[in-house]
Amino acid sequence: MLESYVKKILASRVYDLAEETPLQHAPGLSKRLGVEVMLKREDQQPVFSFKIRGSFNKMAQMSPQQQQRGVITASAGNHAQGVAMAASHLGIRATIVMGRNTPSIKVNAVKSWGARVVLHGDGYDQAYAHARELEQEQGMVYVHAYDDKEVIAGQGTVGMEIVNQHPGQPDAVFVPVGGGGLIAGVAAYIKYLYPKTRVIGVEAEGSACLHAAMQAGRRVVLPADKLDLFADGVSVAQIGKETFAVARKYVDEVVVASIDEICAAIKDVFEETRVIAEPAGALAVAGMKRYVQDAAAARRTLPQSVVAVVSGANVNFDRLRHISERAEVGEHREAVLAVSISEQQGSFLKFCRALGKRGISEFNYRYAPNDMAHIYVGLQVATPEDRDAVVADLRQRQYEVVDMTDNEAAKLHVRHMVGGRNHNQLPELLYRFEFPERPGALLQFLGGLGADWNITLFHYRNHGAAYGRVMVGFEAQPRQRARLGKYLQRIGYRFWEETDNPAYTMFLR
C-alpha cells in the first residue's frame, strides 16, 4: 500500500497550480514547550488551504472525456474553493453545492473562480445528497473532498515536502483530521521513508471520527446531533473508507483537542506568523501542545523535534471576537469561576482581598435571595494546577465556588447575560440551540413552537460561523419537559437542555 501511494504522490501534478509552502521554525512555541517546533504553512496556498493539492491532482488526472463532462462537489469551505480554482485553471465546468447557511464570504470566493454555486439544505449532509443527485442527472464527475486515491495522493505532497525540508528526521508530525485525506497522504509518504517518525492525528472534540474508529477497529458514524461545528473544516461524522484503510495501519495515535485549546492555538499561530489560522487550520498545533504537555506531566520522554501542519486560514473576521475570548482559557491562563458570598457590609472587599493581586479579565456581580450575592469572575492563572489551587483556597476560606472554566453555556451565553433574572418567578426550562445562520431561521423556530409555549428568555450572539448560538427559556414545569422536547425535535435544530446548569441557576434564575 505504501509503495503504491508513494508512486502516486511522486507522480502527482499539484505543482501546476499549488505552491511548495515553507516549513517555518516557531521559536516562541519551541521555547515554551521545550521541543523544536516547525510549522508547515499550508495557509500560504493560493486558496489559503492545502485543499487545492488534492482537488487539482484529481482533476488533472481525469481523461479529456471526463473533463468535458464537468465536475461537481459538495462543500462549504476550503474544498469548494480548491475545486473552483482548479477547474478555472484547467478550463473545466464546476458546480459546487453549498448549504444555504454558508457565509456569503465563502459563496463569493467560490463564484469568483467562475464556478456555479447551488445553495441547498442547511448543512453538508443535505448538500452532499443533492450533489450526488445532480451528478447522476447531469453526468458530471464527483470530486470527493477526501475519500479518493488521487485526492489523497495530492494531499500527500505535504508529507513529501516535510521530508524534503526538515533538517533530519522529525520525531513526530501532527496532522489535522476531518475525513482523513490529508493524514492518509502524509502518513503514507512519511512512514515509507521514516518508519520511526510518529504520525499523530488531531481531531476536535465532538467530531473525533478517526479516534472513534481507531477505538472500535472499524469506521463508525458519530451522532449528527452531537457533531461539533466550531472547527467546521474538520466537522465530519465518519472517516473515509479509503482514508481509514491507510490511517489504521500507519497513524500512530490520535489526540483530541477542545474548543478552548484550538482558540489558544490560533493565538499561538498568530504570535509566530502574524497570520490568523481558521479553527481547523490551528488544530494540529493544539494537538501538538496537548501531546507535549501530557508527556511532560507523565514524565515521558519528550520528542526533540515536531512538525504541525497549519492547514488553512479561511476564517471569517466576525469569529475573532469569540476566538479571542476563549484563547486564554484554552491556554489554561484563565479560570472562570462562580462564587457565592454573603451580602453584608465589607464582604465584597473581603472577597477581592482573597483573590489577591491576580489579574481579573471579567467580573460580574449579582444580588441573590437570602442575603447572598453571586459573582462571575475570570481570573488569570498560570497552569491548571494553579487554577485548582485558587479554587481550593477560596473554599478553604468558606466560599461556595463552582468552576465554570469548561462550562459551554456559561462561556457562550451567561457571561453576557448576568443581571437579567426571572423576576416573576415563572416556572422555566432552559435550552441551548444551534441555529443555521440564514434568513428565516428564527421564524422557522418560532413557527415550529406555535403559540403553545411562552418564551421567558432569549439570547443570541453572532460568532461569524455557519451556525449561531442561542439560549432560550420557556415557561414550563419540569413535568412538561417531554412534551416540550417533542416540539423542539420537530423544529430540527440541535439543542441541549441547560435547566440544571449552575451558570443559569446562580445568575439568571
* Cell of residue 317, nine digits: 473576521
| CA 169 distance to own-chain centroid | 30
Is 7 known to be catalytic?
Answer: no
Q: How far apart are CA 84 and CA 164, in angstroms?
A: 29
Of 298, 227, 287, the residue nearest 256 (C-alpha)? 287
* Contacts of residue 56, Cβ cutoff 8 Å, sequence gap at least 6: 13, 14, 16, 17, 18, 82, 85, 86, 89, 90, 154
* 369-to-125, 291, 372, 410, 420 alpha-carbon distances in Å: 48, 45, 6, 21, 14
Known catalytic membership, residue 311: yes
Q: State how far the Cα of 415 lies from the Cα of 461, in Å rounded to an integer.
A: 12
| Three-class secondary structure of residue 355 per DSSP | helix
494: three-class secondary structure by DSSP = strand
Q: Please pick, among 8, 51, 58, 289, the residue that the annotation labels catalytic.
A: 51
Contacts of 362 (CB under 8 A, 6+ apart): 336, 376, 377, 378, 415
C-beta of residue 209 within 8 angstroms of C-beta of residue 222: yes
SS3 label, residue 154: helix
Widest Cα–Cα separation across the chain: 83
- CA atoms 58, 60, 63, 66: torsion sign: positive
DSSP 302: P
Catalytic residue ranges: 51, 311
